[in-house]
Amino acid sequence: MAPRANNSGGSASGPGIGSFGGRSGSGPAAAAPSRVRHGRARGALRHLLVLLLLLAWVGAVVYPDPRPLVSSLVRLRNPPVDAKAVIDLAAGLPQDYKAIEDFSLAYVPYTPAWTVYGLPWYFPTVEEVLTDRAGDCQARAVLIASIFEAKGMPYTLRYSFDHVWVDYPGKESTEMEDPSTSFVADSGEGWLASLPDRIPLWSIVKVRIAYHWTPMPLIQKLMILAGAALILGYGERRLLARVRRAVSPGRVLVSGGASIRAGDR
């Protein structure tokens, strides 16, 4: 007698294989994309943490006391124009924009903030400018604006990505002082922000290097480079390892887990 078919396991379309097929959606193959997404998220978070650590390290090196940076940011938003501080100076100058500008530029020879204040960037008060008789574009701009203010002459403060200057009626544009590169301006009615018509990227990079990096004391340069090397070397060690594998000669796995260079076979 032929044995009866056992239907408990199901046919090819029965519950046995069907159940197995249903479980396959939650198996290793389905979990792989989730692991990839989580791995990418962890990698992005690691890159962000490394960047934040780098910024924190650079900030700690160049601004060990953060108060000058905070006060400078406040003055950047509210320039400390002070007509009273320059009233005597303004009294001896003609009612002429160009003459006042030329006088102010000669009165305050351009000097990087590293040299004057021992900082990479600083926005001084008018009193500090008059005392130091040296400074950068912020120092010159606030002095010129204060003299214009004392003499009742209208003007506009302009900021570009690499310069701060005072604009006035009839002023000629230059490479550094071109209204088309200004992204914020204030003519006495509050700041007006807009996208600049022109962004000279290469000029911005050159100015920032010349202003922030070149005059920086050697000890701080070394501290920044050493700290950055440690942070990147530890935080991005996996990325660096992948880069090393990508640029090094290929290796081929052989039995026993050993490897040889492709060129040695």
Render each residue's pLDDT in the chain as its tens digit; 265 residues: 444 545 444 444 444 444 444 444 555 555 667 777 777 788 788 889 989 999 999 999 999 999 999 999 999 999 999 999 999 999 999 999 999 999 999 999 999 999 999 999 999 999 999 999 999 999 999 999 999 999 999 999 999 999 999 999 999 999 999 999 999 999 877 788 888 999 999 999 999 999 999 999 999 999 999 999 999 888 877 766 766 677 775 554 444 545 555 445 4
Burial class (CB in 10 A: 0-12, 13-18, 19+), 256: exposed
Ordered by start, the domain boundaries in the chain are 57-213
218-235 vs 237-247: helix crossing angle, rounded to 10: 80
pTM over 0.85? The answer is: no
DSSP structure class, residue 256: G
